Amino acid sequence: MTAGFQLRRIPYPYRAMLAICSDLDETSDRNVYWEIMRFLNTAEQSAIGPGVGLEVGNSIYFDMPAEQFSYWNTDDTGREMVRALIRSGHIDCLHSYGDLAAKRKQAARVLDELDRHGCKLEVWVDHGTAPTNFGSDIMQGHGDEPGHEAYHADLTTDYGIKYVWRGRVTSITGQDVPASFGGIFNKTHPLTSGRTLLKEAAKRMLAMASDKKYAAHRPNRILRPAVLRDNTTVYEFIRCNPHWGGVSSCDQGRHIAEVLTEEMLNRLILRGGMCVLYTHLGKIDDSNISFNPAAVESFRRLAEMSRNRHILVTTTSRLLKYSRAVREISFDSVQDGKDLCININTTANENSISELSEQDLQGLTFYVSDPGKTRMKINGKEIIGFQQNPPDYTGRTSVSLTWHALEFPVI
């Protein structure tokens, strides 16, 4: 390879990536759901106040008790809202089929509904102890257990689910970088935070000892290939809650300010990590005011860090795909006359389960000595209109495949 040529781990010009991965548990109705999404994703005046203009996804489930917002429980307007948000990429996680979905035919009904409306989801997040969960230990599911009445893994993966969360949460701030326990201990709460630190250390020790339950904690990576009980191969991902009280502490909209602290965000930037944040934004105290002032301020702080190009905030699906791309692509550079030609190959290999699409490569950045004399190819196809970047915080110039922001739907 040419001297000075190197893959940049995080899309230019950012130093870290964050996805707020919210389970919709206890969201009361479609109005609360919509106002949360509008506040987070637009600059419009919402019921919470002026929006912060980030890119934040959400989740959906279907068969739930009547008092909780879900696809089947809401009205036609609510269902059309959900479909619009799925198509735009802002609902990107299927949060199981719901507490009341216990049979394969209920999963099939959901998938038929999604297909009929052209709605595709690629991320699955286990919910509570729902029968359709994939996790057999923490989440007590049967969704990948052939012969069980709740078995659906074949249907769900054929539909398009590739990324699966089975209950694994870490206290470590920042993944896809070496593990560090820094920030877990809190001197104001020494006993509780000390216990959290010891629990995280124990998880890693068990992982190093080949304990299957904690295997995802060993490499401190967002993603790893995993085999379900029916021998289907998927990507399993881990989420993070760095609160000093433990992975189940303050994992709610009413307490998000105690997690998205300035200290936590600065640590993520300093480590150059990726984070899929575990939370439940719909768990709030007042359905008329979705977020309290402290929560609003924490989102405004995050938005400022995003505008200052420190943290790229995006959806769970997009972050997972980017993490995959960085790990799985093969690439090289060759001098072609006066130009440097970067060749990117996405063909599935021994490290991948399926081939990446060109859209999955958005944000890929390579350090080069002269962006103006650089060309890029993907699988032999010349790329027109890639970004030529001035020096970043390291002082190095680069080129990027453009990262296109999602467009929030007008409903």
DSSP output for 2-30: -TT-EEESS-TT-SEEEEEEE--TT---H
What average pLDDT does range 51-57 have in this prediction?
98
Q: What count of Cα atoms within 13 Å lies in the side-chain half-sphere of residue 340?
A: 21
List pLDDT tens digits, range 40-51: 999 999 989 999
The per-residue DSSP string of 352-367 comes to -SSPPPSGGGTT-EEE
- pLDDT tens digits, one per residue of 16-29: 999 999 999 999 99
Percent of the chain with pLDDT over 90: 88
Which residue ranges make up each domain of the chain? 29-308
Of residues 4 and 133, more confidently modeled: 133
Confidence band of 337 (pLDDT split at 50, 70, 90): confident
Token pair 């010009």 is found at 13
Integer Cα distance of 158 and 226 in angstroms? 16
Would you state the pLDDT for residue 354? Answer: 83
Q: Name, of 315-324, 343-352, 355-364, the range with top average pLDDT.
A: 315-324
H-run or E-run covering 125: strand 123-125
Query: Rounded to whole angstroms, how far apart are CA atoms 361 and 376?
Result: 12
**pLDDT over 70 (residue 3):** no
Query: Residue 315, class by beta-carbon neighbours within 10 Å (0-12 exposed, 13-18 middle, 19+ buried)?
Result: buried
290 confidence band (pLDDT: 50, 70, 90) = confident
CA distances, 368 to each of 154, 183, 365 (Å)? 44, 35, 9
What 3-state DSSP class applies to 166?
Answer: coil
Model confidence at 1: pLDDT above 60: no
For 369-394, how does the pLDDT look when each residue is reduced to its tens digit (9 = 90+)?
999 999 999 999 999 999 999 999 99
- Give the number of C-alpha atoms closer than 13 A to the C-alpha of residue 206, restricted to the C-beta side: 13
Residue partners of 290: CB distance under 8 A and separation at least 6: 32, 35, 36, 39, 47, 48, 253, 281, 284
Average pLDDT over residues 353-367: 93
Does the pTM exceed 0.85?
Answer: yes
- Find the angle CA(92)-CA(96)-CA(101) to the nearest 5 degrees: 140
> What average pLDDT does the segment 197-207 reach?
93
